[in-house]
Amino acid sequence: MVDKYLLRSLMFVPGHKEKLLNSAVNSDADALLLDLEDSVQPKNNKAIARENIINFINRGSLQKFHIFPRVNDRESGELLQDITQLSLPGVDGFMYPKAKTELDIYFFDKLLETIEYEKGFPIGKFKIIALIETASAVLNAEAIAKASPRVIGLAFGNEDFLMDIHGKNDAEASSLFTPRAIIAMAAHSAKIIPIDTVHIKVHDLDDLESNLKVVVKLGYMGKLVLHPKELDLVHKYFSPSIEEIEQATQMIQSYEENKKQGTGVAIVNGMFVGPPLVRSAKNILSLNALIDNKYK
């Protein structure tokens, strides 16, 4: 699944604010999370948000993006309207908030299956990005990731998580390290995409970069974004460099040549290149191909 979707940046856009939707159309985000949940208040704005999103999708304004509306949770009374109205050809899937266990994903999966059947879509068309926002969700992250073949990503929601555990953040984001690590491992265990939490200090790009350095080491492949000014930095950290692409190409070529000659290990730049590094090299080139395809 990780080689089918380019999700380095997933930018939240409040669905009821047409001005912000127009601004998002001109952004370089990989995916838009058209929000129907937390940022859409009061409740009567949710109907406006659905109508705005439908209009933008139907007129083709969002074709260059992966589109994942963030729906309201199953206890909101809004969820069925969200997915019934927004299960449209231009929508890739939905971000499902406040998933606590795999049963939440199973429930959502069956709702989507019913709608797909009734509307004549192929079963499985609409994918799920599960938003991990509670202690329960972190502890059940692997089960959530594997609850449905629709799940293509696990995203971390740190603000709700910290509230749930009565925790506090600090300059080093030390309270987030463990849940970040668990979510990344759970996602990779399920062969799906780990997506890091939002950075709420949107004007502090130095702090954003500090966080990006940490999560890249943990295996994250994308990040939730609140403001277009964050996109360049996010894309930098979740895109292979020219040097990485060149080295990956060389590793694969050298390994294949040595294999033909009967040796399974090549040496590139002083490193032994066996199957694990070859797989990593192939992942780098697959990601680069997705990025190239975006800008064609």
CATH number at residue 156: 3.20.20.60
Give the range among 187-196, 214-223, 251-260 with minimum mean pLDDT. Answer: 251-260
Q: 148 and 84, same structural domain?
A: yes
| Count of other CB atoms within 10 angstroms of residue 249 | 14
Determine the pLDDT at residue 261. 73
Q: Does residue 186 form part of some domain?
A: yes
Q: Does residue 14 form part of some domain?
A: yes
Distances (CA, A) of 96 to 82, 128, 144, 235: 11, 7, 11, 24
Q: Which residues contact 86 (CB under 8 A, 6 or more apart)?
A: 50, 53, 54, 57, 69, 71, 94
Number of domains forming the structure of the chain: 2
Note whether 31 and 7 are within 8 A (CB). yes
**What average pLDDT does the segment 131-153 reach?**
97
Distances (CA, A) of 178 to 28, 175, 181, 223, 239: 31, 7, 5, 17, 24
Note whether 103 and 130 are within 8 A (CB). no
Q: Does residue 3 form part of some domain?
A: no
Q: 118 and 41, same structural domain?
A: yes
- What pLDDT digit, counting tens, does each position of 94-121 carry? 999 999 999 999 999 999 999 999 999 9
Q: Does residue 1 form part of some domain?
A: no
Q: Does residue 164 form part of some domain?
A: yes
Distances (CA, A) of 139 to 32, 119, 144, 156: 27, 36, 10, 13
- Host domain of residue 248: 242-294
Q: Does residue 117 form part of some domain?
A: yes
Q: 117 and 84, same structural domain?
A: yes
Domain end among 237, 258, 284: 237
Determine the pLDDT at residue 240. 96
**What average pLDDT does the segment 228-256 reach?**
93
Dihedral, CA of residue 156, residue 237, residue 218 and residue 152, to nearest 10: 50
Q: 224 and 290, same structural domain?
A: no
Dihedral, CA of residue 130, residue 2, residue 123 and residue 83, to nearest 10: 30
Determine the pLDDT at residue 34. 97
Determine the pLDDT at residue 267. 73
Q: 100 and 200, same structural domain?
A: yes
Question: At residue 14, does pLDDT exceed 70?
Answer: yes
> What rounded mean pLDDT belongs to the chain?
93
Q: 283 and 219, same structural domain?
A: no
What's phi and psi for 216, nearest 5 deg? Answer: -60, -40
Note whether 67 and 31 are within 8 A (CB). yes
Cα separation, 245 vs 251, whole angstroms = 10
Strand partners, 222: 195
Q: Does residue 213 form part of some domain?
A: yes
**What average pLDDT does the segment 68-97 reach?**
95
Question: At residue 274, does pLDDT exceed 80?
Answer: no
- What pLDDT digit, counting tens, does each position of 159-207 carry? 999 999 999 988 888 999 999 999 999 999 999 999 999 999 999 999 9
Q: Does residue 55 form part of some domain?
A: yes
Tokens, residue 227:
């403001």
Question: At residue 227, does pLDDT exceed 80?
Answer: yes
Q: Which residues contact 228 (CB under 8 A, 6 or more apart)?
A: 11, 23, 24, 27, 28, 29
Q: 132 and 174, same structural domain?
A: yes
Question: At residue 127, does pLDDT exceed 80?
Answer: yes
Q: 255 and 142, same structural domain?
A: no
Determine the pLDDT at residue 264. 58
Strand partners, 268: 271
Cα separation, 91 vs 93, whole angstroms = 6
> pTM value?
0.94
Residue 212 binned pLDDT confidence (cut-offs 50, 70, 90): very high
Q: 253 and 227, same structural domain?
A: no
Q: 256 and 166, same structural domain?
A: no
Q: Which of 36-40, 175-179, 249-253 has the highest mean pLDDT?
A: 175-179
Q: 213 and 123, same structural domain?
A: yes
Question: At residue 123, does pLDDT exceed 80?
Answer: yes
Q: 289 and 222, same structural domain?
A: no
